[in-house]
Amino acid sequence: MKLLESRGLLTLALAGAFLWSLTGVDWGSPLIHTGGGAAARTFFLALFPPDLSPDFLGVALAATWPTLAYAVAGMTVAVLIGIPLGILASGTVVSSPALRLPAALVSRFSLGGLRAIHELVWAVLFVAAFGLSPLAAVLALGLPYGGILGRIYAELLHDVPPEPLRALRTAGASPMRQFLYGRVPLALPDMISYTFYRFECAIRSAAIMSFVGIQGLGYQIQLSLHDLLFRQVWTLLLFMLLLVVLVDQWSSLVRRKLAA
């Protein structure tokens, strides 16, 4: 076990993986497309200015709402999945030694299975099952993000400082009270912070759902790209940037409230 945790071995393994990945590159072909520079210049110059016409701003605003709605609903499903499975996976609530390990293993396996499949793959599966429905987008976001959140929640709950828990145990607190009054308050700020970070990621993922035909900012970006309307693309990207900045500011405000 100590050999597996060795920093030298880990460094060697990563270096070996990097060198091995280089063998998969076709070094005989040009690494950069000959017309790529001109295309990139055309795209980036379209930012000055983006399309700010009232009609297209209305289109961008209308596309922003479903993107945000999918992200919020998907994160709600993710939190509802992540909290109970994360608590069980942390091994901190089940008092019976005979049940603690099986519960933790089953929970960790379930979380791993959820996050092992990318949200785009989930989206394809759910579109096949439900059609181009908002439910497909919400579930495609909620399941893998639930697996990610649950894994992080489990680690945060498990790795809290032992001193407050020891004090509660000495005072005669039950395992559940130790969890509620010891682990949760100590882990909660980091859990909330990470949840907000995943919410930012969910906004981007909700936009990517356009690749399976689900409406939103990404769908409009795809249409504008196909028509080479790069000024419109930049307008839509700026709307996405605004959403992420607003979520980041909201996250900072919540963290300051918790720290006060």
* pLDDT tens column, 163-213: 888 888 888 877 788 888 888 888 998 999 899 989 989 998 888 887 777
Task: Out of 121-125, 142-146, 220-224, 249-253, give the one with best mean pLDDT.
Answer: 142-146
pLDDT above 70 for 248: yes
Q: Which pLDDT belongs to residue 1?
A: 46
Q: Kindly report the CA angle at 21 between 20 and 24, in degrees rounded to 5?
A: 105
Tens of pLDDT, residues 62-98: 999 989 999 999 999 999 999 999 999 988 887 777 7
Cβ-count burial of 109 within 10 angstroms (0-12 exposed, 13-18 middle, 19+ buried)?
Answer: exposed
Q: Which pLDDT belongs to residue 154?
A: 93
Cα–Cα dist 179/194, whole Å:
20
Q: Which pLDDT belongs to residue 34?
A: 67
pLDDT above 90 for 58: yes
Amino acid letter, residue 83: I
Fold for 50-259, please state it: MetI-like fold (1.10.3720)
Cα–Cα dist 20/18, whole Å:
5
Helices (H) and strands (E) in the chain, counts: 11, 0
Q: Which pLDDT belongs to residue 30?
A: 67
Least confident of 23-27, 58-62, 115-119: 23-27
pLDDT above 70 for 6: no
The whole-chain average pLDDT of the chain stands at: 86
Q: Which pLDDT belongs to residue 13?
A: 85
Q: Which pLDDT belongs to residue 35?
A: 67
